[in-house]
Structure 1
Amino acid sequence: MNADSSGRPAGLGGLLDLGSRRLAGTGSASPAADARVLLCHALDIEPSRLILAPPPGVDQVGRFRELIAARAAGTPVQYLTGEAWFRSERIEVGPGVFIPRPETELLVGEAVAEAAALVRAGETPTIIDLCTGSGAMAASLAGEVAGARVHAVELDPGALAWARRNLTPRGVTLHEGDALRVPEGMEGLADIVVTNPPYLPLAGREQISRQVIDTEPEPALFSGLDGLDLLRDLVPRAAALLRHGGLLGFEHDPAQEDSAPALLADDGRWEQIEDHRDLAGRSRYVTARRT
């Protein structure tokens, strides 16, 4: 994979082709895209610069070969490169933290729009991200809404380390602890609460990709047989944190299209309960206002 018949390093096109073919059928949903990202990482260049890159050296080819082998063995691309892009933010990730997904960007968009409207009205919005994980949502909110007070809560030590790396430089206040109790002293003060908690149902575990189960932290994935155990407790917690009229948004599994909004209806402290679909048309997240 790393050299032509003369022993010289293979060209960029040849490396991409060989990497793509190696990844095809190994669990990668996008082998060509994965190979491209990993090649750019091995060359230490931005993807937009690949077309202008000079022929790779032997060490770079060797590094690319190692990355392809690790990806073929099931390691996520984001863990190999150490980063995941979320909206306009570069988020540092690695083993021990859930990799942010593009679907969650839509939920953040709702929160950004709400916070921006408050800023235009002359207010300084307070936003709380419960179960922040890598901090992707909180980082985006801090980056896109100038002047907002953004808080994030995380309990898991592995995820907390990544959240610190992503949120401290962005001015987000990070709270270590149980989202059902932390942050303390902020009851009734939040304008927006968002959360992307574990919500996958254990009852459907066999349908989840082995790559996801084998590499990403299980506590960030599953929450009881129906996936709603933590959300049952987070809904009343959010009600306590939000001011009247404040916005709650949380992500859920498409199979929870009816049961997730029902948590809010049954709680009795919410209005304008609305379920939203992702770009693939799947039920994905709920928003509601505190009555």
Structure 2
Amino acid sequence: MSTPVRPAVTLRAAVEAAARLLDEAGVPSARHDATALAAHVLGVDRVELALPPALPEGFAQQYALVVDRRRRREPLQHIVGSTTFRYLTLQVRAGVFVPRPETEVVAQVAVDEAARLVAEDRTPWVVDLCCGAGGIALAVDTEVPQARVVAVDASPEAVALTRANHEAHPVAGPPLRVELGDVRDPALLAELDGQVDVLVSNPPYIPPDAVPVDPEVRDHDPDLALYGGGADGLDVPRAVLAAAVRLLVPGGLLVMEHAEVQADATRAAAAATGAFTHIRTLPDLTGRARMLVARRVGDSQP
């Protein structure tokens, strides 16, 4: 009697099984992640389950390993080593904040302002404070190549990653500067005092008692990039405001991400400086109040 031959596992079956496993583990985007992990193991950008490729030898073992990592709530971006941000594919590394889709809207406001100034035949200075992996700075640098962009972070790991991402996205324009520095330093970028046209930031802003629920954030994003300091989490955002007062030209634009519950407090903090006008809150992709926008008081306002 011949020995029965077990049918080969198809990609669709493997992904479906992985999606069930991830869903049971509480992963919110289980099927998407299962598919993305399959593409990662196969070394392709994406897979079409309707026309699945033949699986190479060793796929099942490699796939099981990465699915288990995701099951234990390691961020998908850490496992595959990259994420998308606007038109860019960025490297991500453990120890550096993973760029979020909602921050793309913050980048859009900075891009639009830089592009407006270029259309007026100006060469704007754009500063990204607390740059993390460099998403906002690189978005401005690649989408408005005439701009002079400076990215700053207090984390050496973030600075190194931003530089690596910049090398992967070269632009024929003014070279992007990436600096190690603390936004709370009153001498930070002192050579640009009163010269910056756009100051944009996604600073740490979580209060100390608001520990994130998602393990991907709580256990993997660095505390330096999450907690803003002070009882309300706004010590670092207030330092961003102070830097903007010093660095921005008259009429220059401040754009800063914050938590939804901090909208009133960030507007009040901006108003308390006496240095801003047109202070307002803008929504993120989901319509939540997540962004402070204000203009530096002066004669050069549009």
TM-score by length of 2: 0.90
Report matched runs for 1:185-204 at 5 Å. Answer: 185-204=191-210
SS for the counterpart of 1:19 is helix
Cα distance in 2 for residues equivalent to 1:51 and 1:164: 39
Stretches of structure 2 that go unaligned for 5 or more consecutive residues are 298-302
Partner of 1:241: 247
What's 1:90 paired with?
A: 89
Give 1:126's aligned residue. Answer: 125
Cα deviation per residue 1:25-51 (whole Å; 9 max; x = unaligned)? 323111000001100000011116665
Identity level (%): 35
CA deviation vs aligned residue, 1:80-126 (integer Å, no higher than 9, x gap): 01001000011100101001001101111111111111111111111
Q: Give the CA deviation at 1:7.
A: 4.8
Quick check: which one's helix share is greater?
A: 1
**Retained in 1: the 8 A contact 2:203–2:236?**
yes
Residue 154 of structure 1 corresponds to which residue in structure 2? 153
Classify the secondary structure of the residue corresponding to 1:140. helix
CA contact 2:12–2:49 (8 Å) conserved in 1: no
Partner of 2:274: 268
> How far 1:210 sits from its partner (Å)?
3.0
| Shift in Å, 1:53 | 4.5
Give the Cα separation in 1 of the matches to 2:49 and 2:127. 39
Q: Please list every run of 5 or more consecutive structure 1 residues that lacks an aligned counterpart in the other structure.
A: none
Post-superposition offset of 1:60: 2.1
Instruction: Give, in whole Å, the separation in 1 of the partners of 2:285 and 2:107.
Output: 14
1:154 deviates by: 1.3
Per mean C-alpha deviation after superposition, the further-off stretch among 262-271 and 20-29 is 20-29
Partner of 2:178: 174
In 2: Cα distance, 1:113 partner to 1:160 partner: 25
SS in 2 for 1:66: helix
Q: Secondary structure at the match of 2:192?
A: coil
Residues 1-291 of structure 1: pairs in structure 2 closer than 5 A: 6-7=5-6, 9-47=8-46, 51-169=50-168, 170=170, 171-179=175-183, 180=185, 181-205=187-211, 208-224=213-229, 225-291=231-297
* Residues 125-169 of structure 1: per-residue CA shift (max 9 Å, x gap): 110000101001111111111211111001212222211211244
Contact 1:86 1:105 in 2 (8 A): yes
How has the CA–CA distance of structure 1 residues 57 and 242 changed in structure 2, closer, same or farther, with 3 Å as cutoff? same
Task: Provide closer, same or farther for how the CA distance between residues 6 and 65 of structure 1 changes in structure 2, counting only shifts above 3 A.
Answer: farther
TM-score by length of 1: 0.94
Checking the alignment, whether the CA contact within 8 Å between 2:125 and 2:147 is kept in structure 1 is yes
- Which residue type is aligned with residue 167 of structure 1? H
Q: 2:38 touches 2:47 (CA, 8 Å); kept in 1?
A: no
CA shift in 2, pair 1:176/1:168, >3 Å: farther
Amino acid at match of 1:176: L
How many residues in Structure 1 have an aligned counterpart in Structure 2?
A: 286
What secondary structure is seen at the aligned counterpart in 2 of 1:100? coil
Distance, in Å, in 2 between the alignment partners of 1:73 and 1:9 is 27
Q: CA deviation at 1:63?
A: 1.3
SS of the aligned residue for 2:210 comes to: helix
When residues 50 and 116 of structure 1 are mapped into structure 2, their CA distance, relative to the original with a 3 A threshold, is: farther
Q: What is the Cα-based RMSD across aligned positions, in Å?
A: 1.6
Helix, strand or coil for the counterpart of 1:223? Answer: coil
SS in 2 for 1:58: coil
50 and 127 in structure 1: CA distance in 2 versus 1, 3 angstrom threshold: farther
Q: Which moved more, 1:49-58 or 1:243-252?
A: 49-58
**Does the Cα contact within 8 Å between 2:39 and 2:47 map onto a contact in 1?**
no
User: Would the aligned equivalents of 2:263 and 2:292 in 1 still touch at CA under 8 Å?
Assistant: no
Of the structure 1 ranges 151-160 and 100-109, higher mean CA displacement relative to structure 2 is found in: 151-160
User: Does structure 2 retain, via aligned residues, the 8 Å contact 1:107–1:249?
Assistant: yes
